[in-house]
Chains A and B, each alone.
Chain A
Amino acid sequence: MLSVKRISKTYPGFGIKDVSFDVQPGEYFVLLGRTGVGKSVLLEIIAGLTRPDSGAVLLDGRDITHEKMQNRRISLVFQSSALFPHMSVYDNLAYPLRWCGKTRSQVDQQVAKLAEDFAISHLLEARPQRLSGGESQRVSLARAVASEPRCLLLDEPLSSLDASSRSEIRALLRKISVNGQLILHVTHDYTEAVSLSTHIAVMEDGGIAQIGTVEEIFQHPKSQFIARFVGIRNFFKGRLETPEAQGTSLKHFATDGLSFAILTDGPAGPGSVMVRSEDVTITNAASPTSARNNFVGPIADIAPVGGGVEVIVDIGQGKSLEIAALITNEAVSALELRCGKQVWVTFKAAAVKFIEE
């Protein structure tokens, strides 16, 4: 287990304050926050590149706050490749295995095994400069895993990749996590967090704003900031169904007894959908519309948010499935909206964003 306890570090005009969280084995823990919020400083402190002003970092119960970086057994993977350009892929993978009493054939065997696990056997002779973004990130991960770290720190590992390498690396990360590797993944991209994490800590102004499971963070953001930052109030886990007709992009997403129409090219299978509250319309009666998603339910809450009103409608038919719509003050009075009133909520299939798991 990785425990960060009340870490503070101040720089002129910037810093992190009283940051605490625990990462348990078996979790996929994502630290989510805007650029410049202090995530990188926190990573540097955990990795041992920077000393905190106060607080402690514990790894498996042992205080490593003042441990030397090379003795921490915490491996870093960066956004851009940190492969050694003067070594072949083989030598990069062998780097953490050498100088620690292993024989040549042991190193050989371990590199071969790693290369196979990470599907990079064909690249062993190559120079890092020749690799594509996805390949070099695979090699970076393999090298990090080769050092048998007690914790793997990932600093925006997917940010500089194209879409297809991204999903490939995501699959790899999931595999590494399932194997029991302790992972702390830092990102500013909420889709990355949704797609991979079991737990999220949201960082704001140099501190932790909220920690919880993915559902908790997205469905019940604790502060305006989090709601704004993640930008999405309507978040549901479920399953994308295979369409009956071939070649159509209109698919159905099943969640908790409800089904959303969704326009996506994503593959069928488990995942999450998101609808921005700005994209949800409220009407007093069903009316003909091009929107494919129409649900009826009572208003659960009406709350003013910066510049508008957030109306929460329970469309779960007794199962409590809430959907939020961001509308204007004028609309609230024109439609005479109040808590408990039955209304229709409408949103287009194209407004539903699917993130595969």
Chain B
Amino acid sequence: MTTARGPRTDWLSLLFAALGGVVLLFIIAPLASLCLSCSLPELAETAREPEVQASISLTLWTSMAATVLFAIAAIPFAYLLARKDFPLKGLVLGIIDLPIVIPHVAAGLALLTVVSRGTVLGQAAGKMGISFIGNSLAIMLAMAFVSVPFLINSARHGFEAVPERLERAAMSLGASPLRVFLTVSVPLAARPIISGMIMMWARGMSEFGAVMIIAYHPMVTPVLIFERFSAFGLKYAQTVAVLFMAVCLIFFVVLRLLAGGRKDAQR
């Protein structure tokens, strides 16, 4: 029986592998072509440009700060979503996914209608000397708006996988709900939370549409790449693009490795 079925399965696997190869190639080919199209001296020269350096460091720190700041609210919220049922929970979950499905330029416009100087919020903030437009704060808002769903969803799945039995046991040992959350739930969901934060950070860093609307200046790297492309053409844009990709990749791999090292936290 196995010999009769064996070859057929193999053909199917081969077909699937071939299809997979096409998809992989589709991802790798443009990236490889982009990287190969610029030489190392060109890259080194670009890396020395103050404008590029400032832009990459701005992008890195704003995306990280946005992730960390919003994590403070998003992680407890994810816990609530994982543990409690409440009316219209489905609607709330849908709202969380909205930033992923709407066009990001539209997201930027939407943000603008709330925080621009003419709005109630904008005026109130303006009185305190805070502006949400055209500065790093605005960049963080735009990044967080489009990327926070990744953190909330990942953390929610993480918390759902923590056995409630453990939380109950901790409570019965006299621990307060806050202590249970901090010492049992969060450590046990650490891996999904961290991977959600990495996703949020990576997504925020690569954001162009929403950021461009609300803060064209100071320029984050995706905006800089677009600016150079539209003003000077492909050749000037691609070295920045490759450099930025390399930096992102290094951070991404390092963070993944660090997060992977915390295997103990999971069951």
Interface string of B154-181 (1 = CB under 8 A from A): 0000000001011011111111110100
CA distance A165 to B166 in the complex (A): 23
Residues A99 and B168 in contact in the complex (CB < 8 Å), given A85-B188, A129-B267: no
Count: A-B pairs, CB below 8 Å: 65
Closest chain-B Cβ to A110's Cβ sits at a distance in Å of 14
Known: A70-B177, A78-B165, A129-B267. A86 touches B172 (CB 8 A): no
Report the separation of the CA atoms of residues A72 and B179 in the bound assembly, to the nearest whole angstrom. Answer: 16
Chain A residue nearest to B184 in the complex (CB) = A84
A146 to B265, CA, bound (A): 24
- B166 in contact with A84 (CB, 8 Å): yes
A230–B168 Cα distance when bound, in Å, is 31
- Is B264 positioned at the interface, with any CB of A under 8 Å from its CB? yes
Query: CB distance B173 to A95 under 8 Å?
Result: yes
- Which residue of chain A lies nearest to B168 when distances are taken between CB atoms in the complex? A49
- Residue B218 lies at the interface, judged by CB distance under 8 Å to chain A: no
* Set of chain B residues within 8 Å of A255, measured between Cβ atoms: none
Contact B169 A82 (CB under 8 A): yes
- Closest A-chain residue to B179, C-beta based? A99
A89 to chain B, nearest CB (A): 14
Q: How many chain A residues touch the partner (CB < 8 A)?
A: 29
Residues of B within 8 A of A75 (CB): 172-173
Query: Which residues of A32-80 have CB atoms within 8 Å of chain B's CB atoms?
Result: 47-49, 69-76, 78, 80
| Whole-angstrom distance between the Cβ of A279 and the nearest chain B Cβ | 40
Residues on B with C-beta less than 8 A from A144 are 172-173
B122 within 8 A of A: no
Decide if B267 touches A70 in the complex (CB within 8 Å): no
- List CB contacts (< 8 Å) of B208-267 with chain A: 264-267
* Distance in angstroms between the alpha carbons of A74 and B266 in the assembled complex: 28
Please indicate the chain A residues that have their CB under 8 angstroms from the CB of B165 in the complex: 78, 80, 82
Contact of B175 among A49, A72, A95 (CB under 8 A): A95
Please name the residue on chain B nearest to A44 by beta carbon. B168
Determine if B174 and A82 form an interchain contact, defined as CB atoms under 8 angstroms apart.
no
Of A78, A129, A143, the residue contacting B173 (CB under 8 A) is A143
A71 and B175 alpha carbons, distance in the complex (Å): 9
- Which A residues from 127 to 162 make CB contacts under 8 A with B? 127, 129, 143-144, 146-147, 149, 153
B172 → chain A, closest Cβ, in Å?
Answer: 4
A86 touches B177 (CB 8 A): no
Expressed in whole angstroms, the Cα–Cα distance for A49 and B184 within the complex equals 17
Is there contact, CB below 8 Å, between B174 and A76? Answer: no
Q: Report the Cα distance A70→B173, complex, angstroms.
A: 7
Q: Which of A71, A76, A84 is within 8 Å of B168, CB to CB?
A: A76
The CA of A47 and the CA of B171, in the complex, are separated in Å by 10
Looking at the assembled complex, report how far the CB atom of A39 sits from the nearest CB atom of chain B, in whole angstroms: 16
Q: 1/0 per residue B81-105: CB within 8 Å of A?
A: 0000000000000000000000000
A47 touches B172 (CB 8 A): yes
Query: Which B residues fall within an 8 A CB radius of A?
Result: 163, 165-166, 168-177, 179, 183-184, 187-188, 264-267
- Other A-B contacts than A47-B172, A48-B172, A70-B175, 4 sampled, CB-CB below 8 A, are A74-B172, A76-B168, A76-B172, A143-B173
**Between-chain CB contacts (< 8 Å), 25 pairs:** A47-B172, A48-B172, A69-B172, A70-B171, A70-B176, A70-B177, A72-B172, A76-B172, A82-B168, A82-B169, A84-B166, A84-B188, A85-B188, A85-B267, A95-B170, A95-B173, A96-B173, A96-B174, A127-B264, A143-B173, A144-B172, A147-B173, A147-B174, A149-B172, A153-B172
6 closest Cβ pairs, A-B complex? A82-B169, A96-B173, A76-B172, A147-B173, A69-B171, A85-B267
